[in-house]
């Protein structure tokens, strides 16, 4: 299985010219690898152009967010249908930064269902703000997962991707330890299988939070994950090249 790298550029870079340079550098770095599939999540206004000019087996595009409604009076939003029409095939849903801006579990649930209904692959983000000694974070993650996947039919759930991103490791100085991710990956699959049946066992789980060239390969080898959701290191020409080289295999 190829490692999945989701490049979440967030609200970067600041110009179209720089965005194109970053995309070109990412593609070049991807070409040097054999074991990586890349999903680029640029700001939405670049999606159509980038997806149109990047047809390839190992590169695909994601929106960083989209609205669950098919259309209507939602100033400033984009719909899943528009995302699909722009030739993106994935959509990140419930990123910690969107949840912090007010997105609720109910919003996330509606978005996951709306994405699947259009055959877009939802990348459902979950993650706790902090970790106490008692392991309460497991309950928190369980609740986020059950809420987000509640309206998903049993036979569709394995199409979704889960991105576990502990908020304390996003934009931080260190990633979570791979062995802690292993434990979390098992918990995530068990939670989803309990809710949706054994068919969910094959659901892909990603890790995100302070991944860079120095720690990516270890997380892939030891974290029991199908891939990585990368912020800062994906939005920098040099760092993205180093990251891909580190995991290129």
Instruction: Catalog residues that contact ligand PGA under the rule CB under 6 A.
Output: 8, 165, 170-171, 208-211, 229-232
Question: In a 3-state reduction of DSSP, which class is residue 32?
Answer: coil
Q: 213 burial class (0-12, 13-18, 19+ CB within 10 angstroms)?
A: middle
Contact 160, 125 (CB under 8 A): no
Q: How far is the CB of 174 from ligand PGA (least distance, A)?
A: 10
CB of 145 closer than 8 Å to CB of 162: yes
Asked if 165 is an active-site residue, the reply is: yes
Nearer to ligand PGA, 8 or 82 (CB): 8
Nearer to ligand PGA, 162 or 200 (CB): 162
Distance (Å, whole) CA 27 – CA 29? 5
Residue number with the smallest Cβ distance to ligand PGA? 231
Helix ranges, 77-177 (H): 80-85, 96-100, 105-117, 136-149
74 assigned to active site: no
CB of 241 to ligand PGA, least distance (A): 16
Question: In this structure, what token pair is assigned to residue 206?
Answer: 């990603």
Q: How far apart are CA 231 and CA 247, in angstroms?
A: 16
Pick the catalytic residue from 95, 128, 196, 212: 95
The DSSP letter of residue 11 is: T
> Which of 97, 128, 165, 212 is labelled catalytic?
165
- The answer to whether the beta carbons of residues 132 and 170 sit under 8 Å apart is no
In the bound complex, what is the minimum distance in angstroms from residue 93's beta carbon to ligand PGA?
Answer: 13
Q: Cα–Cα distance between 108 and 6 in angstroms, integer?
A: 19
To the nearest whole angstrom, how small is the minimum distance from the Cβ of residue 38 to ligand PGA? 15
Comparison of 211 and 220: residue with beta carbon closer to ligand PGA:
211
Q: Shortest Cβ distance from residue 95 to ligand PGA (Å)? A: 6
Catalytic residues: 95, 165
């Amino acid at each position: 299985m190829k490692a999945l790298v989701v490049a979440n550029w967030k609200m970067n870079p600041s110009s179209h010219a720089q965005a194109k340079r970053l995309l070109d550098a990412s593609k070049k770095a991807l070409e040097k690898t054999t074991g990586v599939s890349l999903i680029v999540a640029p700001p939405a206004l670049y999606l159509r152009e980038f997806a149109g000019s990047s047809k390839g087996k190992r590169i695909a595009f994601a929106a960083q967010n989209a609205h669950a409604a098919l259309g209507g009076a939602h100033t400033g939003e984009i719909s899943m249908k528009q995302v699909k029409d722009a030739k993106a095939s994935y959509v990140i849903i419930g990123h910690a930064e969107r949840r912090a801006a007010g997105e609720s579990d109910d919003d996330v649930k509606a978005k996951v269902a709306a994405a699947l209904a259009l055959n877009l692959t939802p990348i459902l983000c979950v993650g706790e703000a902090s970790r106490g000694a008692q392991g309460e974070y497991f309950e928190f993650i369980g609740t986020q997962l059950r809420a987000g996947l509640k309206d998903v039919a049993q036979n569709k759930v394995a199409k979704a991707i889960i991105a576990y991103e502990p908020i304390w490791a996003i934009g931080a100085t260190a990633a979570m330890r791979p062995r802690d991710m292993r434990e979390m990956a098992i918990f995530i699959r068990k939670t989803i299988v309990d809710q949706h049946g054994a068919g969910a066992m094959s659901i892909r789980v990603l890790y995100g939070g302070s991944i860079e060239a120095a720690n990516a390969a270890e997380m892939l080898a030891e974290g029991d994950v199908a891939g990585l959701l990368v912020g800062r290191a994906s939005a920098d020409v040099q760092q993205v090249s180093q990251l891909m080289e580190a995991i290129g295999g």
